[in-house]
Amino acid sequence: AQSVTQPDIHITVSEGASLELRCNYSYGATPYLFWYVQSPGQGLQLLLKYFSGDTLVQGIKGFEAEFKRSQSSFNLRKPSVHWSDAAEYFCAVGAQAGTALIFGKGTTLSVSS
Amino acid sequence: KAGVTQTPRYLIKTRGQQVTLSCSPISGHRSVSWYQQTPGQGLQFLFEYFSETQRNKGNFPGRFSGRQFSNSRSEMNVSTLELGDSALYLCASSWTGGGSNTGELFFGEGSRLTVL
C-alpha cells in the first residue's frame, strides 16, 4: 500500500539549533517527493521537491532534504532554526508531478527561545 | 501574480444541507486539485480536474463532486452534509505546460467548513 510516515508528531527545537524531520514512504513506482509547510490558518507552501537527479535538494527558507532510495526516506533538514519556522510540516509522495499526492500526518515544530 | 483564491473562507452548515466551494487557480494553471484536511485523517485527495475533465479521483463517497469551468475555475459540492464532513477543504492548482515547475501544487488558504 502507498503511504507516507512521519514518525514524529511534535518536535521542539531551540532557536539556532539544527533540525531534522523524518519522512518514510512506501510507493510502488518511482516517487515524486515533496515537503510542504503550513502555518496556522493558512494553506500549504511548498518547501522543496525531488523528482530525479541529485539526491540532496535545496529549498526555500534554508531547508534541504535528502532522498535515500535504499531507506525509502526523504528527511528534511535545516542547520539553524528560527522562531518563524514554527509550523506544521508535511511530507508527500506522488506518482507524477503534483497530482493525487499522498500526505503524511504531519510534524508540528515548536521553537523555544 | 495572484495566488489560488478560495471562497468562502469560513462557513457553517447543518446536517443534511449541501455546500458549494469555489476555487480560482493561478492564471495559466489548468489543473485544479481538491484535498480535505481533518485532524484525524490528515490531508486526503478528493479529485483533480484538467481542462474541464475529472482526471483523478480519491476514495470519497459520491456526495462529494466537483467540476471545472472553461476558465479553469473549479467548484466542489458536498451534498447531504454529515458531521464528519467538517474540515478544511484545500484547493491547489498546477502548471502543466512543461518546464521545471510542471505539476508543482500551489495551495489556497482553504475553506473551513463546520457542520452542526
Q: Among candidates B68, B69, B67, B60, which has minimal Cα distance to B87?
A: B60
Q: Tell me chain B's radius of gyration from C-alpha atoms.
A: 14
Helix (H) or strand (E) holding A78: strand A73-78
Q: Are A26 and A37 in contact (CB under 8 A)?
A: no
A37 residue type, one letter = V
Write the pLDDT tens digit of every residue in A86-111.
999 999 998 765 568 899 999 999 99
pLDDT of residue B102: 63
B-contacting residues in A 12-51 (Cβ below 8 Å): 32, 34, 36, 41-46, 49
Cα–Cα distance between B93 and B73 in angstroms, integer? 10
Write the pLDDT tens digit of every residue in A29-55.
778 899 999 998 888 999 999 988 889
pLDDT band of residue A62 (cuts 50, 70, 90) is very high
Cα–Cα distance between B87 and B104 in angstroms, integer? 24
The DSSP bridge partners found for residue B44 are B36
pLDDT of residue A97: 56
CB distance A46–B31 less than 8 Å? Answer: no
pLDDT of residue A31: 85
pLDDT of residue A76: 98
pLDDT of residue B11: 97
Cα–Cα distance between B61 and B46 in angstroms, integer? 10
CB distance A98–B42 less than 8 Å? Answer: no
Cα–Cα distance between A107 and A6 in angstroms, integer? 7
Q: Which residues of chain B have pLDDT under 50?
A: none
Please report residues of A whose CB lies closer than 8 A to that of B92.
44, 98
Is the CB of residue B43 less than 8 Å away from at least one CB of chain A? yes
Q: How far is B20 from chain A (nearest CA, A)?
A: 19
CB distance A98–B102 less than 8 Å? Answer: yes
When the pLDDT of each residue in chain A is averaged and rounded to a whole number, the result is: 92
